[in-house]
A and B are shown apart, each in its own frame.
Chain A
Amino acid sequence: MSEESSEKSLRAPAKAVPLFSFARVWTIASSTVTQLVRMKTFYFLLAFALIIVGIGNFNIPATPAKELSMIKKVAFGTMDLFAWLFAIISTALLIPRDQEDRTLYTILSKPVRRIEYLFGKLFGVLAVVATSLVAMFVICAIMIYSRETLYVSAEIQAMEANAQYTPEEMQAQVELIRQQGLRPELTVAVLASFLKASVVAAVTIFISTFASSSLFTIIISILVFLIGHAHSLLSNYWTTQTDNIFVIQAVKVIKVIIPNFQLFSFSEGIVQGAPIIAAVLWQMVGLTGGYLIVYVLLSLLVFVDKEF
């Protein structure tokens, strides 16, 4: 404005704005990442590392291969738990808080679409969840690998002391332990946890658009998450226990409305050594994408004429 002459002249109209802009989504997403980082949410990784060290010192009465497999199971189970819990809590802290603090006023009074805001928040949370998962995987990998090396050298020592095993037999024994150790397929288990946490984050965003507070959002989201694991139980168990038509109908309605989170628990099987079928994996990636888009659009439906 300093370049103006002293003669008063009106300002020119603004430049055209794109109706949808990935740059704005990106801006909101990266600001969300900054926000979560500066809220010191990454401290939970420290707690995770401590738990993993604890798990690494488990003394389980079993053969090395079995023991390694149990340690791995618990470590990845904990990682999965941390991922979805983090997704719920961090998401729940974002939108209701923007609303309470009225930061939303200033953001939404800029040329920002509400859908851009929602996608920005979602992608920000997902970026942080992904980063945390990578960090957690590295922590687990270090622990599992060090245990694996320990077992392998102990077994080799034991076999050499016995002096009656051929190199091939020793190799086979080592292979048995390695089978339960740090395998590249484990990264797919991390991806599975990420897909689950993504869907959880999208559902939490949806809940937070009509919930009024962070706490309420967290409670409802966890409840939905738990019910979302009961899909097969609902049909297998509760419906066989009753022939009350209302209960059966209610179960059907719940199954249609509540996302099927159980389906996303396939990191368990991968950790236990199930073969990875690429086609099925892609199906799950596609399903996750569907959940994200639909839930953000549903959130938008609530959010679009929300008044602040």
Chain B
Amino acid sequence: MSELAVEVKNLTKVFATGLLKQYVVAVDNLSFDVKAGEVYGLIGPNGSGKSTTMKVVLGLMAPSKGSAKVFGLDSGDIRARNEIGFLPENPYFYKHLSGAETLKFYGKLCGLKGSELKDRIGYLLDLVGLEEAADRRLGGYSKGMLQRIGLAQTLIQNPRLVILDEPTAGVDPVGSRQIRDLILRLREDGFTVFLCSHLLEQVQEVCDRVGIIFKGRMRREGQLDELISVEDQHAMTLEGASPELIEKIHALVEEEKGAKLIESGHPRTTLERLFISIAGDKEKGEKS
């Protein structure tokens, strides 16, 4: 598994907005790799630069600085794009085409034709559960159906790398469960998946590794377990503790030098907690 599916090095992307040329640094000196065969999740709140990073990897945007490579090829190289299936956030396709016609269109763009294409379309419609709606126009599709036809479209040329921008956004719990199952299945089948999300619990169970991005910078990266178990912190979950006991614990902590109670209260999902703490740290850091 030494081959790199995605290799992002010192990527910086600056947008100039408005007539007054105000600059927005969307991605700031970002570096990370996605190894072939793994599921990598890029996690961050809104506006942290996830979509921008993906577009640079796809070659839809040029980096301001640094580089992005896909299987060793420069992003933007047409051969690199042939290796990628991409699902944009809130995917939008031609409303006047039916589900099957949409897949046919994208399949042809990837050079598929004839019975090979036809079989592929049938297989994918079955995979995403849209056989019934295959001949209906997308104008009449629901949000979840659009997301699923979008997923089928990403897989049309059987690419090695699948890039999913918020694959479960706007999809109901059952739907997002199905999508997560599909991602797990893709991993089983040897696909490399690079996805991003701001919904942490969705990523938790499917990702081999995650990178946490905030304001365009990579804050933490690694295996989920590692990230969640923070070495110098210790979490306790108490049950049936009286207020007096909690008072005592507080007092004990204060007695010890260098120790500090960071947080107390009702527990949250671990990743979310980590996330909020990072956000809080950086906010403080940037103010000072």
Contacts and interface: CB of A to CB of B under 8 A. Distances in A.
Given A14-B83, A109-B60, A24 B160 contact: no
A1 interface: yes
Interface in B1-22: 1, 3
Q: How large is the interface on A (under 10, 10 to 19, 20 to 34, 35 or more residues)?
A: 35 or more
Contacts of A272: none
A106 B109 CA distance: 11
A24 B78 CA distance: 13
B106 A34 contact: no
Contact of B109 (A103, A110, A305): A110
Contacts of B91: 105-106
Interface residues of B, number: 48
A106 B190 contact: no
A273 B186 CA distance: 68
A105 to B, nearest CB: 4
Contacts of B109: 24, 27-28, 107, 110-112
Contacts of B88: 102, 105-106, 109
A105 B60 contact: yes
A13 B83 contact: yes
Contacts of A11: 158, 160, 189-192
A18 B187 CA distance: 29
B94 A35 contact: yes
Interface in A1-58: 1-2, 4, 6, 8-19, 21, 23-24, 27-28, 31, 34-35, 38-39
Interface in B91-124: 91-94, 96-97, 101, 105-106, 108-111, 113, 123
Contacts of B186: 1
A4 to B, nearest CB: 5
Contact of A31 (B37, B92, B94, B158): B94
Nearest to A97: B94
A13 B55 contact: no
A307 B64 CA distance: 12
Interface string A203-235: 000000000000000000000000000000000
A110 B81 contact: yes
B157 interface: yes
Nearest to A111: B82
B84 interface: yes
A59 B216 CA distance: 73
B111 A38 contact: no
19 contacts: A1-B189, A4-B188, A9-B190, A10-B160, A14-B157, A16-B79, A17-B78, A17-B79, A24-B109, A35-B96, A101-B92, A103-B92, A103-B93, A105-B86, A105-B91, A106-B153, A109-B88, A111-B81, A112-B78
Interface of B: 1, 3, 36-37, 55, 58, 60-62, 71, 78-79, 81-84, 86, 88, 90-94, 96-97, 101, 105-106, 108-111, 113, 123, 150, 153, 157-160, 185-192
Interface of A: 1-2, 4, 6, 8-19, 21, 23-24, 27-28, 31, 34-35, 38-39, 101-103, 105-113, 305, 307-308
Given A14-B79, A21-B111, A308-B55, 5 more contacts: A4-B189, A10-B36, A34-B101, A108-B60, A109-B60
